[in-house]
Structure 1
Amino acid sequence: MKKIFNSFITLVEYNFSTLILITILKLIVILVVLCVESKVFYMHSTTFFNNEFFYKPKVTAHRASAAIAPENTLAGFKESFLSGAEYIEIDIQETKDGELILLHDSNFKRTTGIDKNVWEVNYDEVKTYDAGSHFSPSFTGEKIPTLKEVIKFSKDKTKLIIEMKHDNNINSNIEEKVVNLVKTNKIENQCIIASSNKEILRRVKELDSKIVTCFMTKVTYSKFYDLDYIDIYGIESNFVNKNVVNNIHERGKQVFVWTINEQSLIKKMIDLKVDSIITDNPYMVKDIIYPQKNKFMNILANYLFP
């Protein structure tokens, strides 16, 4: 009897040790996958995770959450941080004295009430403008920030999509100024430079080929997909379909879609497996894509730990 009991104890100990070993191996698999996935996202990879299991749509806060706070302001950045948006999209214009500021329109009237063009005003005057009251009295006194300010404000917190506006009145070296700021602040892996002007993106790549670029366009054509100075295509939602997404993904590039503020469109873009949804309300988009966000890890965990 004692011999049988000892054999039983030995068997239990063996099985328990084996179970612990298997559990540890399963946890190692999950940790390795998480590390690889994080590294690839950090490197802006476009090839590893464009499939059903690894698909994780990213959220881009358009004009720094324009539905939640005054657009292109630090108040909007704070809301974007809270929402968990992976990217914050901002618009860059250049003042008369060469300061790079956050402004979508070429004129200040819509957001500040001042009917002046950006190239007519020095930055000292821009600092006196109220960019918050038009949105809500609670944002009265909100200022127009500079690109320098928002880079420092957001560094190591989120990634930026810096969209350079093009106009006949801006100086020709705006690309060089933006690239220098990016490199000086060492955020090459934390930003994307965007424009609706392909020539601007070509010049950015000439200045630094490692910087990720995004071509913002209402509609794109297959003849543009192979341009080596474009990494991402930011396309208006009405012109995005499965063929467009597949053709761009097959070339190892990404598809960002703008500007999505309706639940039905958000779900449609998720089904199309776009890489990022650009929205004025990142909270809403996050709520909808949250169940999708950890799809692969949930499948893996359920398989390893049934």
Structure 2
Amino acid sequence: YYSYKEGTPHPYPERETKKHPFITAGVAVAFVLLIAATVAVNNHFDTLFPAEKDTKIIAHRGGGNEAAENTVAGLNAAYNAGAYGSEIDIQRTKDGAYVILHDGNFERVAGDSRKPEEMTLKQIRKLSAFGEPIPTFEEALSSCKGRLVLFTELKGKTADKKMADDAVRIIKENNMEAECVLISLDYELIDYIETKYPEMQTGFLLFASFGATDRLHCDYLGLEEESVTENAISAAHDQGKKMLVWTPNEKSTQKHFLCSNADGLITDNVIQAAKIQKE
């Protein structure tokens, strides 16, 4: 411009930059909100963005609340609800058969106060559990084959080495070694099975985890939900064991454990758990 015009150039005065307090305050607030949001997401990341988990749903006492407990109808209901497996209880009869029953007698389920070890299988056949036949162990296995993994608890006063031997024999006769896990609250019984039948899968049930669980000979540890923490799950995995949680029935606890690293949850509310898992 000045090359085409005579005269002395006059410099243009530099404009003073004015600071706008509202803009400065806005930036500061935005920064604080960004930090707060980052902290919130970090604290609840697993809830907001759950990772892919493979926690198995296992129906408690056959089919949980979906049908009569410890019956073939219950096992069918568990399968239809999408369960991975079912937990059942076996006890020995007076004549050496094995029937599915949780309690020490038939009072609650069939209105008969006699114990299974006081009755023959023929006598028990005349009873019904909540309107359904009381199945034998063989019948339970048959209904689950190719459909459900059967977590079989050795239960009651007849839970001994003979029961363990018989259970293994019956499982092998049905070619279901890969579809059965023998479980018990009696560690000596689990240790016996692990020692004599290392090819069988076993699980030791505990009310709480204390002591050196790495010394326990079993494939699964089963803990009550109140005792299960991520540290306990990690410790079990480090020991080469799987962790079962029993029995989370509330939506909140089911969601918590389905989003955890637990290997399976044993629950009465199978349909509810399956719905949560799909969400």
Larger helix proportion, structure 1 or 2? 1
Q: Is the 8 A contact 2:78 2:86 kept in 1?
A: yes
Kindly provide the CA deviation profile for residues 162-217 of structure 1, in whole angstroms up to 9, marking residues without a partner as x.
Answer: 111142x5564110000001111111111111001011111112331011111111
Aligned with 2:260 (options 272, 290, 294): 272
Identity of aligned residues (%): 30
Tell me what 2:180 maps to: 191
Tell me what 1:233 maps to: 221
CA distance in 2, matches of 1:238, 1:171: 29
Equivalences, count: 230
Question: Residue 175 of structure 2 aligns to which amino acid in structure 1?
Answer: K
Aligned with 1:206 (options 195, 198, 208): 195
TM-score (norm 1): 0.72
CA distance in 2, matches of 1:214, 1:171: 16
Q: Is the 8 A contact 2:203 2:222 kept in 1?
A: yes
Tell me what 2:100 maps to: 102
CA distance in 1, matches of 2:52, 2:172: 31
Larger radius of gyration: 2
Aligned with 2:277 (options 272, 289, 296): 289
CA distance in 1, matches of 2:184, 2:75: 21
In the TM superposition, residue 226 of structure 1 has moved relative to its aligned partner by 2.9
Distance 1:123 1:171, change over 3 A: farther
Kindly provide the CA deviation profile for residues 56-90 of structure 1, in whole angstroms up to 9, marking residues without a partner as x.
Answer: 11000111122111100011011011011011110
CA distance in 1, matches of 2:265, 2:123: 35
Structure 1 residues 121-270: aligned runs within 5 Å: 121-132=119-130, 140=131, 142-167=132-157, 169=158, 172-227=161-216, 229-270=217-258
Kindly provide the CA deviation profile for residues 126-173 of structure 1, in whole angstroms up to 9, marking residues without a partner as x.
Answer: 0000212xxxxxxx3x11000011111211111110111142x55641
TM-score (norm 2): 0.79
Q: Is the 8 A contact 1:89 1:162 kept in 2?
A: yes
Tell me what 1:118 maps to: 116
Question: Residue 139 of structure 2 aligns to which amino acid in structure 1?
Answer: E
Tell me what 2:79 maps to: 81
Runs of 5+ in structure 2 lacking a partner? 1-49
Tell me what 1:13 maps to: none
In the TM superposition, residue 119 of structure 1 has moved relative to its aligned partner by 1.1
CA distance in 2, matches of 1:244, 1:66: 26
SS of residue in 2 equivalent to 1:235: strand
CA distance in 2, matches of 1:172, 1:273: 33
CA distance in 1, matches of 2:267, 2:238: 25
Distance 1:175 1:191, change over 3 A: same
SS of residue in 2 equivalent to 1:67: helix
In the TM superposition, residue 125 of structure 1 has moved relative to its aligned partner by 0.4
Q: Is the 8 A contact 1:62 1:90 kept in 2?
A: yes
CA distance in 1, matches of 2:263, 2:159: 32
In the TM superposition, residue 264 of structure 1 has moved relative to its aligned partner by 0.6
Q: Is the 8 A contact 1:119 1:170 kept in 2?
A: no
CA distance in 2, matches of 1:233, 1:195: 10
